[in-house]
Amino acid sequence: MFTVEVDKRVKGDSQTIWQVITNAQFFAEAAPNILRVEELGGEATSLSRRIHHKSGRNWEEHCKQWQPQDKFTMQISTENYPLPVSSIQRTISMQQMKRSTLITIQYDYTAQYGPLGFFIDKYQIRPVLKIFATQLLDNLARKINQTGDNRIISAQTILESKDSTIYTITPTTLIAEACKILTEKRIGCVIALDETNKIAGILSERDIVNAIANADEPVLNNQAKQHMTSNVILCHPDDSIDELMSSMSERRIRHLPVVDDNETLLGVISIGDIINHRMSELELESDAMHQYIEGRKWREVAMQIGRDAASEEFS
């Protein structure tokens, strides 16, 4: 049994990625030399497809394993398959990383012709499968990015990517107690809720520093309502990241509570959350450009010295 594996990091929510990598139409558009994919019916492990190749060949694939939001395996019929293999299956999986998702395409196969299969694999099967899988993955990643670009990054999107814990106090909480929460939880503000659980104010590190600087006496035993900001600037789940940044910049604030239509607190977005989001985007763009450049180099070398030599050069 031989194995060929390629992987690539992409940015996007797991649902979008899963929809792209399992969609038959997207596969037909992304796979090299594939004219169309005919769905024969079924879902999950009963899924069946017929693949139509530009050479005029066609073969069927049947789902062998299906784990939603994780991976799926297609057992490929070797009858009419364009490579000399006696068995072959393709697994596409996704693994959530810290700031991205790792997509892996793996082919597991057995070469024909017994002992000669090793040489056939080295000089024919492996190079072809590696090129096919790499181009397929690159095209799927491009489709994921295009799909993600069409989805506006909103306050809700940012909340889903961070810790959902919300730290709150009441207007009568002592400043000393609020300071303890800020220190222990390593956060920059706490939200003050009234008896109906509606936002009464926001107490930030800046509010406390200003209180200490301007007071003639110690303020640690004062209540939060004496120093918190009562006129709280809010945002809603559908507000875009550009709107959040504009609001923070114009009002010179660093935190935005997110509320629904009933003004129920859903979470808090900080300037740090937005910066982390932007840094993640830049990091993935850099990785994508690096992989693109490496891919171009490989193809250029392959044209000059052949696929096998290029594979050894870049291994």
Give the pLDDT mean for 143-153: 67
Q: Which domain covers residue 208, as residue numbers?
A: 155-277
Map tokens 């008896």 to a residue. Answer: 195
Which CATH number fits the domain that encloses residue 206?
Answer: 3.10.580.10
Tell me the per-residue pLDDT of 160-179, one tens digit each, with 9 for 90 and over: 888 889 999 999 999 999 99
Would you say residue 231 has pLDDT above 90? yes
136 with 160, same domain: the answer is: no
82 with 138, same domain: the answer is: yes
Q: What is the pLDDT of residue 150?
A: 46
Which CATH number fits the domain that encloses residue 103?
Answer: 3.30.530.20
pTM to 2 decimals?
Answer: 0.54
99 with 66, same domain: the answer is: yes
42 with 66, same domain: the answer is: yes
124 with 172, same domain: the answer is: no
Cα separation, 212 vs 225, in Å, equals 15
State the average pLDDT for the chain: 87
138 with 160, same domain: the answer is: no
18 with 127, same domain: the answer is: yes
124 with 164, same domain: the answer is: no
Tell me the per-residue pLDDT of 40-57, one tens digit each, with 9 for 90 and over: 988 889 999 999 999 999
81 with 171, same domain: the answer is: no
The domain boundary, picked from 151, 179, 201, lies at: 151
Q: What is the pLDDT of residue 312?
A: 55
Q: How many structural domains comprise the chain?
A: 2
14 with 140, same domain: the answer is: yes
29 with 93, same domain: the answer is: yes
Band (pLDDT 50/70/90 cuts) for residue 302 is low
189 with 256, same domain: the answer is: yes
> Quick check: is 294 in a domain?
no
> Quick check: is 53 in a domain?
yes
